[in-house]
Amino acid sequence: MLLSEYKKITISIIDLYKKVERRAEKFGVHFCRTETESQEGREELLEMVEPVADITGKYGIKLLSCCENFLVKSGITEKGACVDGNYLNEIFGPGASVKSDPGQRKKYGCGCTAGVDIGRYIDQGRWSHRCFHDCPQCYARRHY
């Protein structure tokens, strides 16, 4: 895909749930923890994201963030969504929900519309499904 085809990029900083940390360690993946509640944490987050903003700006790509109010307030990113039903409908045609996802963290700036994870939250029944990719950062996978 040509770089000129990218119009926007959405970022979101991982929330380090214990199950995600344990799983990642088994894969040899170690995440750094950045807390935006402290001035030091906010500065560290800016240090990580400013180079990305510089690159996207250089190529005319809009940088968005989901659940990152601090980045929006700082002017580094615009408010975005990891799952953006309006955008999905724009590029793939109608079918994606445009309703706000009630299961997400609105107070943290989540702009996601309703969607279905490919991971597995439920072991049995109608909504059970299993993704076999074993991504260490997946929130949905319980077992490891």
Which residues does 14 contact at the CB level (< 8 Å), separation at least 6?
20, 31, 137
The answer to whether residue 116 sits within a structural domain is no
Residue 143 belongs to some domain of the structure:
no
Instruction: Write out the residue range of the structural domain in which residue 29 sits.
Output: 3-108
- pLDDT tens for 26-44 read 888 877 777 777 888 889 8
Q: Is residue 59 part of a domain?
A: yes
Is residue 114 a part of any domain in this protein? no
What pLDDT was estimated at residue 79?
A: 94
Q: Residue 130 has which token pair?
A: 């299993």
| Rounded Cα distance, 141 and 137, in Å | 9
3-state class (DSSP) for residue 63:
strand
pTM of the model: 0.73
Q: So what's the pLDDT on residue 3?
A: 59
Domain membership of residue 11 (yes or no) is yes
136 found inside a domain: no
For residue 12, is it within any domain? yes
Is residue 97 within 8 Å of 115, Cβ to Cβ? yes
Residue 133 lies in a domain: no
Domains of the chain: total: 1
